[in-house]
């Protein structure tokens, strides 16, 4: 049987309204849908009549392998990731595995709204200037390497988006570095379950953020502003620099 094809689909933050049209089309076209069980629950509207293969956390290798196997059987396979599949998602693992084994299967990467963009829209406009995204998961990357990236991003005065803040000691160490380098209290946004049920949106700062540590979990994303970020009303704003050149 000839090769099928693979869609690597970014589902966005969760709700159907924030999937792209192309993502929806690919999910509807697919014969097989592969994904983490939690993600499969949020796309039940497109799984009826399809072969659905679920997996638990830490089974990323299985997801990539079974996607390739099903495509080699001649099927159209959708491998799903929340947010965008290139941002701590399944795209790189799948492509890396295919490259190392020499598989020649058509692959389309379908972008999605990643957590940084989703949570920032809830906070206001904190990503209006340069920003860095850093994952605080040390399952694959050593702790010291992560903390070095946090330090360099803070020294560069980037707005910093922290994904996967599941290790409390690593999160606290990262926030200590940001607070130390920023010197003055800097706005911090904490968004849990963005665009899903039980959504929580909190704006605090580098001095007070620990008061909300009990809210932070696996589906939380944190945005630490740069030295110019400020809060007005319930919005975080990072000016782009127009105020340096123009009067408005």
CATH number of 76's domain: 3.40.1010.10
User: Both 173 and 223 in a single domain?
Assistant: yes
Looking at residue 247, its pLDDT comes to 80
Query: Distance between CA 32 and CA 53 in Å, rounded?
Result: 8
**What is the chain's alpha carbon radius of gyration, rounded to the nearest angstrom?**
20
Same domain for 223 and 168: yes
Residue 243 placed within a domain? no
Q: Are residues 62 and 10 in the same domain?
A: yes
How far apart (Å, rounded) are the C-alpha atoms in residues 151 and 177? 6
CATH number, residue 228:
3.30.950.10
In a domain, 247, yes or no: no
Q: Does one domain contain both 11 and 95?
A: yes
Q: Are 45 and 61 in the same domain? A: yes
Q: What is the DSSP string of the chain?
A: ----EEEEEE-BTSSGGGS-HHHHHHHHH-SEEEEEHHHHHTTGGGTTTSEEEEE-TT-HHHHHHHHHHHHHTT-EEEEEESB-TTSSSSHHHHHHHHHHHT----EEEE----HHHHHHHHHEETTSS-EEEEE--TTTS-HHHHHHHHHHHHHTT-EEEEE----HHHHHHHHHHHHHHH-S--EEEEEESTTSTT-EEEEEETTTGGGGGGG--TTEEEEE--TT-EEETTEEE---SHHHH---
Looking at 84, 113, 142, which one is the last position of a domain? Answer: 113
Q: Please report the pLDDT score of residue 12 as a whole number.
A: 95
Residues 215 and 184 in one domain: yes
Instruction: Going from the first residue of the chain to its last (248 residues), give the mean pLDDT of each consecutive group of 10, the final group possibly shorter.
Output: 88 92 97 95 94 94 97 97 96 97 96 97 97 96 98 98 97 98 95 93 98 95 97 96 77
Specify whether 97 is located in the same domain as 121: no
Question: 100 lies in which domain range?
Answer: 5-113
The pLDDT value given to residue 1 = 53
The tally of domains found in the chain comes to 2
Residues 89 and 27 in one domain: yes
Contact 221, 163 (CB under 8 A): yes
Q: What is the pLDDT of residue 183?
A: 86
Residue entry with tokens 């910093």: 160
User: What is the residue whose two structure tokens read 């080699």?
Assistant: 72
Domain end position, chosen among 82, 113, 144: 113
Residue 103 sits in the same domain as residue 141: no
């Amino acid at each position: 049987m000839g090769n099928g094809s693979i869609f690597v689909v970014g589902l966005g933050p969760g709700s159907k309204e924030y999937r792209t049209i192309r993502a929806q089309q690919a999910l509807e076209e697919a014969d097989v849908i592969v994904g983490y069980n939690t993600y499969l629950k949020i796309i039940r509207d497109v799984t009826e009549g399809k072969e659905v293969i679920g997996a638990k956390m830490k089974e990323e290798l299985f997801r990539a392998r079974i996607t390739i196997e099903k495509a080699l059987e001649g099927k159209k396979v959708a491998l799903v990731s929340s947010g965008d599949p290139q941002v701590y998602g399944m795209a790189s693992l799948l492509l890396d595995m295919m490259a190392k084994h020499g598989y020649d299967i058509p692959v389309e990467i379908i972008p999605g709204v990643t957590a940084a963009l989703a949570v920032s829209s809830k906070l206001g406009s904190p990503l209006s200037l340069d920003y860095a995204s850093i994952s605080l998961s040390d399952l694959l990357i050593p702790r010291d390497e992560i903390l070095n990236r946090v330090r360099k991003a803070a020294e560069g005065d980037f707005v910093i988006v922290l994904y996967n803040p599941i290790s409390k000691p690593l999160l606290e160490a990262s926030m200590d570095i940001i607070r130390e380098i920023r010197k003055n209290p800097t706005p911090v946004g904490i968004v849990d379950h963005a665009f899903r049920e039980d959504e929580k949106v909190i704006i605090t700062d580098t001095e007070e953020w620990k008061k909300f540590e009990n809210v932070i979990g696996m589906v939380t994303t944190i945005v630490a502003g740069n030295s110019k970020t400020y809060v007005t009303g319930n919005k975080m704003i990072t000016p782009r620099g127009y105020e340096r050149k123009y009067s408005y």
